[in-house]
Structure 1
């Protein structure tokens, strides 16, 4: 629906948009939601299916969003206020940049996913969500001065480049190398990166490289020039879902990069990558939960109208059973996502990473399971209509939810390992305090 009135179909809106009391949402958040929904509809959502079928979102859309500061919400909260104000950026659709919190981020990601397709919004936001934050958080002052003015305003584009053909979720075994030249002024980068969202359009990649020996301690993060840079070749990959996301294969053959392009210090790569993943997984979880809403509410609406065996599908107990099970998963997921967003808004970044890193990984994995359930239910209930390419559009996006940002099984394991680590630290403190 283009207008701001909530969709009345069950499961189509989060509870706060159905007028139910909500402890997290303020009047300011509601004002932003209305403005965000209007902007996203006019400039993206109403054209999303058309652009997904065409395979590419027109370039002018990226510039329209940047001009309105509407890609900045993809960045971790709080925003880099000092940098934004230096660049003359004071608000996002009326929200002062210094007032931005993770609840605004959640609202934004939810609204950007209203088409039910992750590709169109993904074609715009990957650089701001994943590529720029490491430079903001870990980059030297000199590195930030060179790159942030153009990246934060959209004059240049960035992506995150971690995954390789043989190393995806197994980040510690990345093989792309960055070797210093004899004069110590440059790195020579060699290797390949695969499944890189937005890579084909990016001027730079915030890239995981190996500057040292084997394992996590040998990893670093480097800002590597891409478009038209000697030694870099890129091609788009054909994927089944998220077609407009610009999934890219990057080959690096003796690519010369200034040593000053290092993010943080040599050997800091694993720490930088892991903390960046927490934000990535959270915003994926929000967007994926909206996709599940679109799928399930579309099925619900269809079942109210479609007749079979002399009655509507909604009159069939088995249909109501399927909708109920999927709906319970969906609303449970949203409540958890809202809770994490609120918690992060009231914790330091360091404490949030420590306490919520494992749970955020688990939430991301669970959100993809919920999407799979809701999309499968929708396709089954739509019957033949669900078997068409258009009918299966959201279902085709499911692998793109279950794999990026850490594949599902890896994240399930990671979440428990993180929880055990927190438990052990707390147990150690209790033991020590009991001896005093």
Structure 2
């Protein structure tokens, strides 16, 4: 049966692509039915129930699928040490690249819902990398074996009630105890995805004096579940409900000083190295959601009749689909390009060259999702405003839209950051060119 227009990117409709190799195509063909069985067959049910059963996380861990949410290249030595040599389909961990990660992120949202997949991978994808990249040997030895195998769970805890996109505004304080063996942590974290199920948090804390801004931030591995002084509760949010958004209170929480990630005062730099991976992940998920919304309503208007003919025969309907589809395909191609560039650039070069543009990619993904979700709800009509029936998926995706536009850097902040970063990069390159020319004279 022919695919509904906009339901998949061109490379998954049999068309040629310069970005995807045979390895990538085999990976996609392997994981799509696996993720469908483990997650998507019941994703809508679990999102409506507001929680994904705990066994699903264990199922993904057993299938070696959780590690596919990590940024490439994977921590090969650590994975092999804990017994993970291959991912599904025989993909060797040393052969995993950003395009494989891109495909995994896309397939995790094929149901059209971010919450169920996010409940499994958000903490894994963003909470573990700082330990891998910046943790010393003893820290890695204590935490990575159980985290990488899914025996324990981790989240990333940065956002606070008064510090969201402004990370430098974090006020949760970590003060060394008189004996020097502990940090005593006090403060609150809010909107922490996966927090309620997490054994640990990779947490941004202020080790410098109040008002010291980014220079006073550090990262700590903070014990959560059952740890004295830690209180957690689920937050009721509009969309992505099953992802486990959490409010965390910390009251004189004692954390061993050995849980410091890297060096004191370097937390902001460590956090920033997560941004390209995080923002690309958000963009990929939002783009797949936009596909599901638009293709679902495309199928609907082909069969739905009004005023004596199919809705597709109405010029205004075709016009709405065309505008949204053009935005969607442009966004999809741009996201593929970013993933491809990240396979070819070193991490240092990618952070420098793509930082601003990745912020723009993430912001644009949210805007495209909003347009496609709007079109889906409007063309489904009353069915798109109902939490059951044939337009239900459009209604569910519509509620997810703010989850793409706010977390990971809110839209307006991302737009401004993108231009500021591009100006900074341009000025740095101009200065370097002038210096090189002067050296030749």
Corresponding residue for 1:165? 161
Corresponding residue for 2:45? 50
Partner Cα distance (1:106, 1:85) in 2: 22
Partner Cα distance (2:21, 2:432) in 1: 38
Structure 1 residue 127: deviation in Å?
1.8
- Secondary structure in 2 matching 1:393: helix
Corresponding residue for 1:191? 187
Partner Cα distance (2:273, 2:355) in 1: 8
Partner Cα distance (2:404, 2:281) in 1: 11
The one of 320, 328, 331 aligned to 1:330: 328
2:426 pairs with 1:396: no
Partner Cα distance (1:32, 1:427) in 2: 42
Structure 1 residue 258: deviation in Å?
0.4
- Secondary structure in 2 matching 1:136: helix
Partner Cα distance (1:395, 1:26) in 2: 34
Which structure 1 residue ranges, 4+ long, deviate > 4 Å from structure 2? none
- Secondary structure in 2 matching 1:253: strand
Structure 1 residue 55: deviation in Å?
0.8
Corresponding residue for 1:363? 361
Deviations 1:319-373 (A, max 9, x none): 0000000000000001000001010001111111111111111101100111000
Return 5+ residue gaps in structure 2 as ranges: none
Structure 1 residue 424: deviation in Å?
0.7
2:425 pairs with 1:422: yes
Partner Cα distance (1:433, 1:16) in 2: 42
Partner Cα distance (2:276, 2:188) in 1: 24
2:89 pairs with 1:86: no
Considering only aligned residues, what root-mean-square deviation do their CA atoms show, in Å? 0.8
Map 1:27-106; keep pairs closer than 5 Å: 27-93=22-88, 94-106=90-102
Partner Cα distance (1:435, 1:154) in 2: 55
Corresponding residue for 2:349? 351
Partner Cα distance (1:61, 1:235) in 2: 21
TM-score (norm 2): 0.97
2:20 pairs with 1:25: yes
Map 1:225-304; keep pairs closer than 5 Å: 225-304=223-302
- Secondary structure in 2 matching 1:279: helix
The one of 133, 136, 141 aligned to 1:137: 133
Partner Cα distance (1:291, 1:229) in 2: 37
Corresponding residue for 1:156? 152
Partner Cα distance (2:253, 2:15) in 1: 55
Corresponding residue for 1:413? 416
Partner Cα distance (2:323, 2:81) in 1: 50
- Secondary structure in 2 matching 1:116: coil
Partner Cα distance (1:358, 1:430) in 2: 21
Partner Cα distance (1:55, 1:370) in 2: 26
Deviations 1:18-69 (A, max 9, x none): 1111001111111111111011100101100000111100000000000111
Partner Cα distance (1:433, 1:57) in 2: 57
Partner Cα distance (1:288, 1:425) in 2: 32
Partner Cα distance (1:211, 1:154) in 2: 30
- Secondary structure in 2 matching 1:165: coil
2:121 pairs with 1:125: yes
Structure 1 residue 255: deviation in Å?
0.0
Partner Cα distance (1:205, 1:145) in 2: 16
Partner Cα distance (2:166, 2:104) in 1: 30
Structure 1 residue 430: deviation in Å?
1.5
2:19 pairs with 1:16: no
Corresponding residue for 1:218? 216
2:317 pairs with 1:319: yes
- Secondary structure in 2 matching 1:23: coil
Corresponding residue for 1:181? 177
Partner Cα distance (2:23, 2:207) in 1: 46
2:104 pairs with 1:108: yes
Structure 1 residue 389: deviation in Å?
2.3
